[in-house]
Amino acid sequence: MMNGEEGRRRLEQVIVDYGSSPLPPKFDTKEEERESLKERLAGACRILDHRKYNENLMGIISFRDPIDSDTFWTTPRTTNWGLIQPSSLLHVDSQANILQGEGDIDNERFIVHIYIYTARPEVTAIGYSQSPHGLAFSQKGAPLAPLTQDSCAFFDDNAVYDGPFQGEEANKGMVDALGKHKILFLKNDGFLVAAKSIEAIVTWSISCEKCCQVQILAELAAKGREFGPPHPIGDQEAYDTYKSVGTDISGFFGAWPEYQALRAREKAH
């Protein structure tokens, strides 16, 4: 098992290799790509844990294996996200059987990931972390509104699922509700992110949580008659902004300040 110091060195190397380019890296071999993805997923877990977005037993992040696209790497259910290293991750097949690694998974929650990967071949990473304002906002059973420039990143790109949470009907229902969107609010249960990179899972998880908080505050202020009702950005402006801040590459590059901060925190210890 890789120790903490080895993990820090590897994470630093991954970040240095990316430099300041917003473009995803290229690898000489699929094996190198797999190892990099494992490093980045482990780092994503530690970033979200630092922000207290995870309830550990309930949260789950996964990515599609670049060598065998019918298998996946995911977080073990019983390991604190703040302790996740690449060696902690589980290699799982399309039936949720563990192929490699020690630990177990939440089968019901992970099966949803498999359904999404099957329906969305372009999706390479899926994340669910129980952030507090995301949980609070999800009880509305309504999509996020474009109230700020930041929330335009989710304009017409977030949906709501309001149905059962167990069984095949639930899995199919979530896939249908998600459609081609990147965010799926689960009524009374937070939100799920489907993306084309692990970095985008980090970016959209953090940004969507903040946007949920802002909308909750705006709606509370409206009820107190301090500002009047919330005033969403117009559709055309929201869409134009989305094309700048809501793209796949924005999701990828937006996470790098978080990875830099992670590296600094871990160097200091």
CA torsion angle 94 24 60 206 (round to 10): -150
User: What average pLDDT does this structure show over 87-109?
Assistant: 93
CA atoms within 13 A on the CB side of 69: 7
Domain with 191 in it: 4-267
Q: What's the length of the chain? A: 269
The per-residue pLDDT for range 8-23, each reduced to its tens digit, is 455 444 443 445 555 6
Sequence letter at residue 56: N
| pTM, entire model | 0.90
Q: Assess whether pLDDT exceeds 90 at residue 226.
A: no
User: What average pLDDT does this structure show over 196-200?
Assistant: 96
Strand duo 71-74 + 125-128: pairing: unpaired
User: What average pLDDT does this structure show over 190-204?
Assistant: 97
Please report the pLDDT score of residue 10 as a whole number. 52
> Domain holding 188: CATH number?
3.40.225.10
- The total domain count for the chain is 1
Angle (CA) 183 36 27, round 5°? 105
What six digits make up the tokens of 245?
């801040």
